[in-house]
Every structure is written in C-alpha cells, then in structure tokens.
Chains A and B, each alone.
Chain A
C-alpha cells in the first residue's frame, strides 16, 4: 500500500511538473496553435486552414509587430479623417495590403485604413461575434463558402449602385470571378481580389528516386488509378525499402519509421474537398451543385462514390496516408517532413511550399486527366465586402474599389503570394514566381485551358459540411462503403438545401 501510494504520488508529481513546465511555454505556442482549435470550427472550409497553419512563425511575429505599430498610428486619425477598419486572415499577404493602404491614404488624404489580421479560424469566429455585438469591421476579406449566409442575414451592403456610379468595369477580372459574388437577385456583394486553383505538389528527390517519371500529363480513373496511380505506387516505399510497384511490398509496415506514402491527403475531405478529392471527382464528371445558389446537390452521384472509394481503397492498400495520421499531424506537414511524396494543394500555398523555410525540393504538376477526358481544378476567389454597419460606406467603397484596381493588385501580385483577380497583376505574380525559380504553370494552365469549375456556392454550406464531413471520414477509415453511405447523406443534404 505504502509503495503504491508513493509511486502514484511520484507519477502525479511528474505529470504536474511536466504540465507546469510546458505551461510556461504555452503562450508562445498558442499563436501558431490558436488556429488549430478554432480553425477546425470552420467546418465549411478546412481546406484553407493550411494557409494559416503553415505560415511560418517568423512571418507571423512580423505581422503581429506590424499590426501593433499600425494600431498605434491609426487608432487616432488626424483631424476629421475617416478610419476604415479592414480585416484579412492571410498573414503572408498582410504586408502588401499595408502597402496598398499607405498608397490609398496618400491618394485619398481624408481616409485612413487600419489593417487587422487574424488566423483563419479566429477570423470567422471573431467576425460572427463582431456582427452579433455590432463591432464588425467596415470592410473584410470574404469567402465564397461564407458570403451567402452573410447575405441572408443582411449584414452586407450591395455594391451595385457604387459600381454603376463609378463605372467600375467588372469585366476587367478573370472570367467568372465577378459573377461569383452576385446573388440570384442580381445584387453584388464583393469585388474580386484574387483567385486560386489546385495542382499536384511533388517532392523532387523522391520523384528522382522513383525513376523520374513524366508527370506532365498523367491520367487517372477510379478503377486502377491510371498513370497517376502508377506514379503513386512507384513513389510509395515501405519500411523495408520495397516500392509499391515491386514484388514483396508490405503495406503493414507503412506505419513504421522510414516508410513513404506515394500520395498524401492535404486534410479532411469535408463536403467540398477543395484541395483533396474535388479535382479527381470533377475529372470523373461530378459536380457538387448544379449552378450557383442551387437548391440541390449531387452527393448521390456514383461518380463521386467511385472517387471517394478509390481513395479509401488506396489508403487501405498503403499507398495513401491514413486519415488518422493526417488529422494528427496535418497533411502538409506530412508532405514537408517526407512522410508523403506527393499531395494536391492550392496556389495560395506556393510561397509556403517553395519558400525559403522548406527543406523539401518541390515541383508542381497539373492535376491528372480523368475519365471525362479533361483535368479539373476548383476555381475559388476571394473578394472584399462592406458590412452594413460600416460607419462611412462611401469611404469603405473607395477602399474596396482601390483594392480591386490594378494599382493595388499589382502590388499584391508582386508579393508572389496569391494570383490577383486582374490578369495584368497575375502576370506580375507569375514573373515574381519565375524570378524565385518556381514554375507555377501547373496552376495557371487550368485558367488557360478552361478546365476550372466553380466553388460550390450555397446558403447552407456549413450545414452540408456538418452532414457530409463525418460521412467522408467513415469512408476513408474503411468503416463504411461510399456507395452505401453517400445516397443517404445526399437525401439529408437536399432536405437541408430545400429548407
């Protein structure tokens, strides 16, 4: 009894000390980890989390420092200048929008802009709270998955009259981008600022070790995986060093030290799979919803079930990273630490994946050509929206108009972080990437060839996410078959959309 008691005490003490010791470090940790708790709240768009998760700590600290300076200078605008509160979530872009804000104030001396940056998860939770407490920013970076719910709640100002009065040419953007921000009633709630597509990210060292296969025009199908599947198998290496396409490959050793998965999931599939399954399912002929603001979704389409089942089967076979590992470590982390040789990811991640901070030599290949005969990539775009609580909507509009103009977008393009919505500014971004030695044609080829499909816009995105997300997880874990689960889910989704 005595002895047990002592060892129990020792154990407790040890835990306590470890916890206390770690506790003192925690505040420093939370700046990068804060996204993880809140990020995942945002079920609708976890695909974009990586954007925040992976921005280097260094960059974040700089951003924070900058933000503080900004706040000090801008909280008290000189004289009767108008102060516009502007929110964005991507720390990588903040310096360039700070630049835009400075240029803007120079051109419009009566208006000052305070730029605030929050991590992806905190951003949307904070915005909800800010709307509820009437402390929302005047202007904020808006997302396609979110804005229909804002519109329904009546917290955004339609921009039509401003656009007409100032004669802004909505045709100056890449085709389709401006239309994404128009409601079925023809009201416009944002002016486009950038766009993104998906490509296959490849670890060059591992590709060379696999015999340097040609990845410029891979094919894929949900039966045998096509030439893309062959490359995935060739790049898979088990813990004994046997490749996935060789005799004696042992999938049971894939969890051990030294094993490399040929392909890694970027994250949870969710309902829309922007960076995960969407490129594959779309190349197999699947569309999530029929048009913008649709009343019906197609989750019962066999083309989707086949695609998801292919992923599940290949996870089972040891060629693709298991979902549990992806959830524990993060998909991009698994790629960057060499646990996966390839992944699909979005263009906003280029500066993180190819940046100075990475140890993995990376190249990009277009997403594979599917049974439909085409490759496919989701085409997503951000825009700036004005809130109904904006103190001076006229001034807020001037700032939105400026951010959607070539002047600001060329500044942002020069940062080589995202592709701006205006073609001339995207050309500048491409040049900036080329100057860094990064070939980004795998992302731009979709726009050149017209192989993009639009981000599914519905007014029930978060409800759909809550229904489909867990179902996708159960399929990928092998607990259920896609063909059995998805039709039932589809019924619930359509009921939600009809509501």
Chain B
C-alpha cells in the first residue's frame, strides 16, 4: 500500500476504509469459524477450569483456583508432563534430523514430483490407522517388524514395554511426519540461491561444510517455523497413544503410567473420571506452556529475519 502523504489526509482515510470494506467479506467466513470452533470453546474451557464441572450432569460450581492447586500435588499430572517432555524431545530430534536429510537429498538429487508425493504418503494415512497397523507389526509375538528386529538382536515389547513405549510411539510418528516436514524444509531449500553452492564447490568445500555453513544458516527462518509446528504437534500427541497402547489387553496410557501423555490424561479426567474442571485446568496450562515456548522459539531463532537479505 502506498504510504499516505501528509497533505492528502482525506484520500488516505478513504483508502483505508475502502480496504477494510473489501477485506471483510473475505475474512468473515474464517473469522466465524475461528470464533465458533476456537475462540468460544477456549473461553469456555478457561471458565470450566475454575469450576468443578460435571460432564454427565452438565453443571458445576465455581471453585476458584482449586483445580490448579490440585495440579501442583497431582503425581499423575507431573508424570504426564515428564512423559510428554520425553516424547517431544525424542520426536522433534529424530523428525527434524530425518526431515533435513530427506529434504537435502531431494534438493540435491532429484526434482521428481512423483518421489515427492511418495515421501508424503505416510502423512496421508490417518493416525488411528497407523496406530492400529503398528500394533500388529510391532507385537512381539506376532509382528513382522518385531520379528525382523529380533533377527538383529533387538528384542522388545514395544507398546507393552514401560521403557520402550515412548520411543516406539516417537519412532512411529517420526515415520509418519518426516515426509511432510521434509517438504516444508525442501520449500525452504528452494529459496537458497544455487550460486552459493557453486561458489562453495569452487572453494573446495565438502558436502558437510556446505550443509553447515550455507544450508542450515540460510534455512533458519523455515526451520524455526517447522520447529514451532512440530513442537506444538508433538505436545498434542493423543490418537497414537490412545489407540496403540490399548493394544489387545492393555489400556491407553499404559503400561502403567509409561505413556500417559498430557492429552491422554486430559481425556481420561474428562471422559472417564468425569472431572471436566480439572481436565480443563490441565488444558489451560498446556495452552499457556505452548504459547510461551512458541514465543521464545520464534524470538531465539529470529524467525522474522532472513540472512539472505
């Protein structure tokens, strides 16, 4: 938009007004969606977190901060925080590493859109289906992947092993998401001028040096976005845990408390234990945590600046 000049205030005002007039009809549909599906439920969730809401009876009384006070002493909540943090760490690490690898490989080796589509394939399968399939594939008695691994001396109970369950779920979600993440990073790679690599090659830089000195620094804004998206996604892991750790004779969040991530605990409190108030309090804490993490991530990674300028 042209900067309004001081001697034409009337025109500038008109221009601004006209812009909004045109924008509103386009914004309205998504604004209504945002209002109905995000804003109002979030406000209601925050309200519920200050009540002892009973989902069955659909009523509750104001209890102030009691739900939050209870969280502080709730060992299951802190366990959920620990388990989720461990999952997020493993998942982000492996997913980002694999995604960068795939994206760089795609960028340097092929321009085929068929291969790009194939890499996306796992992402197109619904989470619940992925979980159900891996329950079979990784069953230590029946599963073919479990059999394959045991040939190499890796024996585990996967979903039924207290120490194995979170790495297993992190691995599955890495497999499902890395193609999608790789495509995002790939798009970022496309913005890096090829001349830089040519210059690097002329100077005799190795692949690894070019990766470290050219690719990663110039990819930073995209990586920041990818990290924020995957981080938020990882904190919200739910369906894989809910479906896969139930297995055939276990229960979601099991074995024991080993995979009861925050979202599973939220679900359990609201829909199994009928304590929607406490459940909402945890959801609010999670919301605030994610907002803070996202803020710092964007700040620290200077996501709004590019070194290409």
Contacts and interface: CB of A to CB of B under 8 A. Distances in A.
Interface of A: 1-2, 5, 8-9, 12-13, 15-16, 18-20, 22-23, 26, 29-30, 33, 36-44, 46, 53, 124-125, 128-129, 131-132, 134, 149-150, 153-155, 267-268, 323-331, 333, 462-463, 466, 469-470, 473-474, 477, 479
5 contacts: A20-B125, A37-B242, A44-B272, A328-B249, A477-B162
Contacts of B271: 41, 125, 128-129
B175 interface: yes
Contacts of A328: 139-141, 157, 159-160, 247-250
Given A16-B122, A328-B141, A328-B159, A153 B249 contact: no
B36 interface: no
A421 to B, nearest CB: 26
B178 to A, nearest CB: 9
B159 A40 contact: no
Interface stretch (B186-194, B222-230, B251-259, B279-287): B251-259
Interface stretch (B2-10, B23-31, B52-60, B196-204): B52-60
B54 A330 contact: no
Contacts of B102: 8
B256 A473 contact: yes
A132 B56 contact: yes
A154 B139 contact: no
B43 interface: no
Given A16-B118, A323-B255, A268 B250 contact: yes
Given A22-B129, A473-B256, 15 more contacts: A8-B105, A18-B133, A26-B132, A36-B246, A40-B245, A43-B251, A125-B271, A132-B56, A325-B160, A327-B160, A328-B141, A328-B248, A329-B142, A330-B249, A473-B254
A22 B231 CA distance: 29
Contacts, number: 165
Contact of A40 (B57, B118, B252): B252
B301 to A, nearest CB: 28
Contacts of B129: 19, 22-23, 26
Contact of B248 (A20, A125, A333): A333
Contacts of A479: 162
Interface of B: 54-58, 76, 102, 105, 109, 115, 118-119, 121-122, 125, 128-130, 132-133, 135-136, 139-142, 157, 159-162, 175, 179, 207, 242-243, 245-252, 254-257, 267-268, 271-274
Interface centre among B246, B248, B250, B257 (most CB of A within 10 A): B248
Contact of A29 (B54, B132, B247, B255): B132
Contacts of B159: 327-328
Contact of B58 (A2, A132, A325): A132
B118 A13 contact: yes
Nearest to B130: A19
Given A9-B118, A30-B132, A155 B57 contact: yes
B162 A5 contact: no
A364 B142 CA distance: 29
Nearest to B75: A492
A5 B109 contact: yes
A145 to B, nearest CB: 12
Contacts of B257: 470
What 7 A-B pairs have minimum CB-CB distances, sorted nearest first? A40-B251, A327-B250, A153-B56, A16-B121, A40-B246, A330-B249, A153-B57
B122 A15 contact: yes
Given A23-B133, A155-B57, A462 B274 contact: yes
B268 A466 contact: yes
